[in-house]
Amino acid sequence: MTNIIDGKKVALKIRDELALEVSKLRENGITPGLAVVLVGTNPASEVYVRMKKKACQKAGIESYSHELPSNIQQDKLLSLIDNLNNDPKVHGILVQLPLSKHLNESIVINHILPEKDVDGFHPISIGKLLLGEKCFRPCTPAGIMELIDSIGIDPKGKQAVVVGRSNIVGKPVSFMLLERHATLTICHSRTKDLPAEVKRADILIAAIGKANFIKGDWIKEGAVVIDVGMNRTSDGKLVGDVEFETAKDRAGAITPVPGGVGPMTIAMLLKNTVEAAKI
């Protein structure tokens, strides 16, 4: 029987544990605080930001919302980040991506103090991850590792294949798998024979952003399949990067879309914020 990994359940357990931890911190006079910065009116970003603020509230974390017009000048955004960097009530700073075209994402992210970089996107955080040092880990990759752990799979010595090399998911999750002693292959749009690479995977991470791109018959029998994709089909359905119906018959364990990786991202953001408050 294939194990359909219930990301909602794993995320809720983490969120419940965090709520307990936050209530103890608050008793000791520490209220974890997250600043959430949204530029413009990208509908998907608005939904994500609303979910993040609601999750903070449920966990007892204070969220400080900053909604800025899409034409905000970069200097104004940087000076807001300066204020947040210096605000002792703010333990974590999240700037929702993507930013408007006229803003330079890397300059903006670089401006966040690494000790408040709960998204784990700052070059210092990514550099420390690469070196195996303690740092805030990007939330989606950290959530993926939690899901793998939740089903009792140890990546050590396994063939892990990551499809996608984004800075947000593909690259950081690759280093986390390597840190856990997996043998790693990173595939991308120029990979010559993707089905052959996928077929070798004991652990497959699909993070390419193309609906149903990875076919069920590419999956090795018994593989762990983590699908990071969130794609809308022409008939409005939300689907992953892996063709779920055919893949689930071959996989040993697989995440559904929705309800797999998605809920874990927010749980890990809360976890990083609580950690930041404890520093």
- The footprint of ligand GUN (CB under 6 A) covers 94-97, 119, 139-140, 168, 265
Among 117, 119, 227, 241, the one annotated catalytic? 119
Q: What is the closest distance, in whole angstroms, from the C-beta atom of residue 40 to ligand GUN in the complex?
A: 13
b/e per residue, 176-190, with b = 16+ CB within 10 A? bbbebebbbbbbeee
CA dist 95 and 199 (Å) reads 37
Between 94 and 274, whose beta carbon lies closer to ligand GUN? 94
**Contact by Cβ (8 Å): 261, 144:** yes
Paired with 67 in beta bridges are 38
- Shortest CB 175 distance to ligand GUN, Å: 16
Residue of 96, 117, 159, 227 with catalytic role: 96
Residue number with CB closer to ligand GUN (140 or 273): 140
Kindly provide the residue ranges of all beta strands, DSSP E only, lying in 31-128, ordered along the sequence.
33-39, 62-68, 92-95
Shortest reach from residue 119's CB to ligand GUN, in Å? 5
Whose CA is closest to 159, among 203, 115, 124, 101?
A: 203
Query: Which residue is catalytic, options 52, 116, 220, 248?
Result: 52
Tell me the residue length of the chain: 279
Q: Check if the beta carbon of residue 73 is closer than 8 Å to that of residue 80.
A: no
User: Residue of minimal CB distance from ligand GUN?
Assistant: 97
Q: Which is nearer to ligand GUN, 35 or 223 (CB)?
A: 35
- 17 versus 46: smaller Cβ distance to ligand GUN: 46
Judge whether 271 counts as a catalytic residue: no
Give, to the nearest 10 degrees, the angle between helix 139-150 and helix 170-179.
Answer: 40
Concerning whether 53 is annotated as a catalytic residue, the answer is no
- Write down the least CB distance from residue 69 to ligand GUN, Å: 18
Specify the 3-state DSSP secondary structure of 216.
helix
Nearer to ligand GUN, 90 or 194 (CB): 90
Question: Is 24 in the active site?
Answer: no
Please identify every residue annotated as catalytic.
52, 96, 119
